[in-house]
Structure formats: structure tokens, C-alpha cells
Structure 1
Amino acid sequence: MQEAKWGEFKLGDLFDIKNTLSFNKEKLTVGNQYDYVTRTSQNQGILIETGYINKENLNSSGNWSLGLLQMDFFYRQKPWYAGQFVRKIVPKIQLKKNSVLYFTALLNKQKQNLLSVLVRDVDKTFLNTIVQLPILKDGQIDFDFMENFIAELEAERIAELEAERIAELEAYLSVTGLKDYTLTKEEQQALDYFESDQIKFGKYAYSTIFNKIIQGRRLKKDDQIPGKIPFVMAGITNTGVINYISNPVAIFPRNSITIDIFGNTFYRNYTFGAGDDTGVYWNDNVNYSKKIMLYLTASIRKSLVGKFSYGKKLRSSRSLNFKILLPIQSNIPNYQAMETFISAIQKLVIKDVVLYANQKIAATKMVVQSENNKN
């Protein structure tokens, strides 16, 4: 890539920084059309997804959120609502995809500068900050340079991924106990049966599947002692694992399922602790395989979606008679069908990942070749 010429620009000439109308998470509704963005640095600033709340508080997509706690900039690709202490960075210029990535990196380079001032001075400091950008001969911003620069970085990264992909695939297949992602006759048949509604289903109460249904114990953040035990609470970020502790709280066994107060459901293949907003489900009389537990997790998740929220919280004691649909044979759960189905799904997912990686690599090679032809 040719060396660029650089010019100085004031951020205030390129962006507006605006306050956002905030509200507490108790007002969130069921749904996932919008992001609820807070000052957290995790999960791109997204605490949780939400349904429609109101028009007044809604922020459009195509801008950046700025959390005033860590001063992290995150580009918002869909409409969003804001919690407290969140600013909105609105571009005054038209930006393409790669230019957005370029400016995201540039904005986050201002983090230390913004952290060094009082919150009340953040807006003024941001607007007056001088940055360097690539320019054309007439002094205008060279957006083509940004687009090509990011594309070149992607190409370099994809080239690395191409070399790593085979090793990672083999490692993943080894961990999952699969030799390859080619479906067996039984797995293909299982998919065909499910897709053509040839599977018979029966309804089963949670209490007939799990003989242990227990609510976690309250452990305030200030009382948590750092350690190696995953501690699970309500939420989807990091599958609900909010910390690693060493407190002598109840430890739940691996091969369990957690369901929080919002109905978020996750499989746990490790021992862990859980807060009082999370229920834990397992069976110590029946040794369900991992694949069966994954099937049960998916079935439970589907049965609960959209039914619980801040205004209607789920407790494990209320779920004993909740029912899920399971494949049956001779009027009993067909666990072999569940195993085979999950095995097939695993292979399809692996195959999709491999195909996507190949397509991404091929597309990037085309971009690189195109740029080489230009030069």
C-alpha cells in the first residue's frame, strides 16, 4: 500500500457528542429487536436485548455509544436504548463499513485522554481533540485509503486464519469426539424425520426429567472472594458467568442446566456456583449424556422464550410442573433419538463454520487481488 499523507482534524468537525435519555433496566420488555446499552465494557456495551419501550428514548443505529465509566466506543449496528452515563457519538460524515472500523479504532485511542478529565468535561475534551487522518492532495479525508487499509488488515488476518483453520478444526473434532463433519446414515435419517414431522413427541414435566431442581444462593458482589469457581447469575453475557470466586457456597455439579429469572437457559459442563436469581437442574440418579443435556437445554429454552421478564420473574420452585416436548418411543423418552439429532446438528454447525471460513478467505483473496491489479 502506498504511503499516505496525513492532516489534522478536530473531532468536533467530524462528530457530535450527545446525551442519551436513560432509564433503569426494570422498564425493559420481552424481545430482542433493540439493544440495551450501558457503561459496561463487556459484550460491546450491551447488557441485554429488549423489545420496544418508547420512541423518546430510542437511539438510531449508525452511531457510537460511549460508556462514561471506561470510555469505550462501540459502533451501534441496530437501534438501541441507553442506561445511565452513556453518550452518543453521531458522525457528520458519510462512512462505509471499513471506514467505520477505522474510526472505531481511532475513537478508542482517545480513551486515556477522556479518562484523565472529569465526566463534566468529557464533551468539551472530545470535541476539541485533534486527530490525524489520511488526506488527498486537496486536503480532504482520504476515505479510500481507510477502506483499503482495513481490507488489507483483514486479508492479512484471513491468511493467518487459513493456516490455523485446519489445526483448529481437527482440535475441535477431537474435543467433540467426532472424526469429521460428514453425516452418518442414522444422523441424516434423524434430521429427515424431524424435518418431516415423523417424530412422535410427548410432554414431560421438569420434575420427571430432573430429580434436583434447586435455586442458587444470594452472594452480593462485595462479598465475592476471587477464586476459580465460575459464579453464575441472571443474564446472557458470557452465558451468565459474572465472576470466579472461592466462597464456601453451594457448588453445583457439572452436567447441569441453569435457568435464570428471565428464562435464559444454559448447559454447564463444569462445577459452578449460582446466585439466587438462577435455578439449577440435574439428575443424580440418571447419567444423561452431554448430547442429551444439550437437547434438553434447547427444548427448555424454546419452551420459555418470551415468557419471563423483570415484571414476571421465574423461580425454580414454580417450574416443577412446566412441560417440554421430547421425542418418544413406546411412550417413553427416546434418548437415542436426542443423541443422534444433536450429533447431526453439531456436524452441521462445524460444516457451516468451515464453509463460511472458506468463503471469507476466498472473498478476501478477491479483494487483495483487486487491489493488486489496481496497483
Structure 2
Amino acid sequence: MPGKIDASLNEKLKNIQWGEYRIGDLFHKKTIKGIPKSEENLIENPKGYHVFGQNIYYQYPQKVLNDDKYLTQVEPGKPIIAYTSSTAQIGIISESFYRTGDNGAFQGLFPKFEQCNYNQILFILVAIKRKFIGLGYNDSMAHVMDLYIKLPVCDGKIDFTYMDSFVDELKAQQVDKLKAYLSITGLDNYELTSDEKMALSNFGNVTWSKFNLKDLYGLSTRGKRLKSMDRINGELPFVTAGEANEGVSAFIGNKVDIFSKNTITIDMFGSAKFRNYKYGADDHIAVVHTEELSKFSAIFVTTAIHKSSYTGQFSYSRNFYAKDADELNIQLPVKDNNIDNHYMDVLISAIHKLVIKDIVLYVK
């Protein structure tokens, strides 16, 4: 499993017996048919289903209803593994869903084995992910079904019980760590102040104005290409296009341009993300220099940029570049003819608390 694991779990891993299994013997593969833009309906309907973008890490927040022929059915309690052939992104989908867009290869792996639950699929996903390390746009994914992974065995059969208990224990450990982290950092405070409540209630009355991104934050910067084969392992996050891991594709030790924390990246598809750490970036990334903004204001601006840039007009054939960022106009709240940075700070602080509240209550 990824990350650091408690000593007791490490001992369990050392003592388990392992067997090799071909992915094609464990799963059926199905190409997930996307909804053509001309037939797509994204109007919210509580009786509908979620829609995934052309990668499994972007799920539309609303549920919608479309033609049943585009619905991929997933049995309750029996999730599937899905991956994108172009970018080698892979993850779990545990509900019936649609996929938007009739281009791009999006594959579903449906378990052949009867005994199947979320813990077991998660364990298997991690084993498969190891085979995806280093794969990307230039790699063929046609061989996935012929890959072999190692799984725990007991009496010559896959030990599903072990996978269940291992993931349960790992989850419990992570919950304890999360609880301690929230307490130490003060993030366990989710009570809204009067100003935060006011900011939320007044959102519909906010005055907005249009601003050019270059006029606000100067020229955007473009990252530089660094091929996968040339990357040296290190500690610097390296940002590329994509939603997986917020676009961080590797941690490198190469000498590259280092961008400041508290800046915003926009990838080749127009997807904007706030970075609260120093990082490197490839040539599919535009960096907006918001270093002087407060953290919450920068997050607000990130959302404004994303709304303006992530419009569907950018793709593999029409990339978003730094020059596009310089021409981008965004909407921001104003007060007395000036950008209302105070409102942006307070609003994002309130939203931050609303989001963290469920996490705090979950770990209690």
C-alpha cells in the first residue's frame, strides 16, 4: 500500500504468501462509451447518475439523466477499476455512471470473481497502480490485460479475507493520524464566525467586475519540458497536465525552474489549480504569479480562473498556453470600485470550514 505503513502492518506484509495473477484472468475489460456533446444533458436531476469527464478524476458534482445506452452500470457494493488509456490514470468507481465526450479511451475493469467489495478492489488497485508508474501519453495501454500483479494467497487461493482486514486496519490508522493532524493545526475548528456567515448569505448580492489576468498579476510563465526518462528521483513536485494527484506526476531532483508557492497553474486543458508549495512544471503548464495574494484570496482567484479557462475549448489539438492566460479575463468581487480582497478571504475561509466540518465529524 502507498505511503508509510505502521510496523504491525509491515510485519503482516512480510509474513504473507504471495501469488502472481494476470489482470485479464481477474477482470473483464470494457471500453466505456462516452456521451457525444450533441446528446449530452447536464441538467441536474436527483434521480440521475454522476458524469465523469474524460479522466476518472473529474466527476461532475450534479447527477443527471441521459440515454440509458450511455449508462455504465456498477453493482452496489461491487466497485470497478477504470483507467484512461491516454494518460494512464487509474482509480475506483463505485456507482453507475456516464462518461462525457465520445473521444478518448476510458476502460473499465469488471471483476470476474464473485467475492468482491471496496476494500478488496482498493487493495488490487494499488497492486495495478505499481504497473502504471511512469506510463503516460506516449505509452500504449493495449497490454494491460496481460500484466501480472502480486496478491496475497492462502491455501493456493487469493486471500480476500486478508485484504479486507489489512485495508480496515490501514484505514483506522489513517483516521487516527488525521484526527491528530486536525487538532494540531487547528483545522478541527469548523464553527463559522459572524463575518463568515454574512459572507455566505450575501453572496447573491455581490458586485462583480471583469479583470484581465495579465493586468492583475503580470505575464504568466510557461514551464519547460522534462521527459519521463530524464527525470531524477527527488523531493520537488513536478506538475504536468492532468487531474491525478492534482497534476503532480513525479517528485524530481533535476535542476529546473522552481515556481513559488501561493501561485496558480493552468494546464493544457485549461484546468486551474492553487499550489501552496514550491514546484517545477513542464511545458503544458502556465503559471500565474499570485505570490502577493493571501492564501484564501489566491484560492478564490484560482476558482475564477478555472471558470473562465476550463470551458471545453482546449484539448490535445488546442492546448492552453501562457499566452492564453495573459489574455484571460476573470470575474472578481468589487467594493468601492476596488477588488474586495477581504470578502474573498472571508468567503473562502467559510467554505473551508464547511468542507472540513464533515471530515472533523467523520474522525470523531
In which range does the TM-score fall when normalised by the shorter chain? 0.5 to 0.7
Give the 3 Å change call, closer, same or farther, for CA 298–59 of structure 1 in structure 2.
Answer: same
DSSP-derived class of the 2:205 partner:
coil
Match of 1:371 in 2: none
Deviation at 1:158, TM superposition (A): 7.3
Q: Note the 1:327-338 alignment, pairs <5 A.
A: 327-338=333-344
Q: Return the match for 1:214 from 214, 218, 221.
A: 221
Q: Return the match for 1:223 from 227, 230, 243.
A: 230
Q: Return the match for 1:171 from 170, 184, 205.
A: 184
1:301 partnered with 2:306 = yes
Match of 1:352 in 2: 358
For residues 53-94 of structure 1, give each alpha carbon's deviation from its aligned partner in whole angstroms, at most 9, with x where no partner exists: xx99996535456999xxxx965434579859x78444475x
1:236 partnered with 2:243 = yes
Q: Note the 1:273-312 alignment, pairs <5 A.
A: 273-283=280-290, 287-307=292-312, 308-312=314-318
DSSP-derived class of the 2:353 partner:
helix
Deviation at 1:172, TM superposition (A): 3.4
1:33 partnered with 2:51 = yes
Deviation at 1:297, TM superposition (A): 0.8
Deviation at 1:263, TM superposition (A): 1.2
Q: Is the 8 A contact 1:17 1:87 kept in 2?
A: no
- Code of the aligned partner of 2:286: G
Match of 2:264 in 1: 257
Q: Is the 8 A contact 2:91 2:125 kept in 1?
A: no
RMSD: 4.8
TM (norm. structure 2) is 0.63
Q: Note the 1:1-375 alignment, pairs <5 A.
A: 17-20=27-30, 33-34=51-52, 46=56, 60-61=73-74, 63-64=80-81, 76-77=93-94, 78=96, 83=105, 88-91=109-112, 93=114, 98=117, 101-102=119-120, 105=123, 122=146, 132=157, 166-173=179-186, 180-194=189-203, 197-283=204-290, 287-307=292-312, 308-358=314-364
DSSP-derived class of the 2:326 partner:
coil
Q: Is the 8 A contact 1:20 1:82 kept in 2?
A: no
Q: Is the 8 A contact 2:213 2:325 kept in 1?
A: yes
Provide the rounded CA distance (Å) in 2 between the counterparts of 1:125 and 1:279.
37
- Code of the aligned partner of 1:226: N
Number of matched pairs:
294
Extract unaligned runs of 5+ from structure 1.
Answer: 1-10, 24-29, 38-45, 113-118, 135-144, 359-375
Extract unaligned runs of 5+ from structure 2.
Answer: 1-20, 34-39, 43-49, 61-67, 131-142
Deviation at 1:187, TM superposition (A): 1.1
Larger Rg: 1
Taking every aligned residue pair, what percent have the same amino acid on both sides?
A: 27
Provide the rounded CA distance (Å) in 2 between the counterparts of 1:301 and 1:101.
34
Q: Is the 8 A contact 1:21 1:82 kept in 2?
A: no
Decide which structure has greater helix share.
Answer: 1
Q: Is the 8 A contact 1:190 1:341 kept in 2?
A: yes
Provide the rounded CA distance (Å) in 1 between the counterparts of 2:173 and 2:112.
33
- Code of the aligned partner of 2:194: K
TM (norm. structure 1) is 0.61
Give the 3 Å change call, closer, same or farther, for CA 101–207 of structure 1 in structure 2.
Answer: same
Q: Is the 8 A contact 1:20 1:57 kept in 2?
A: no
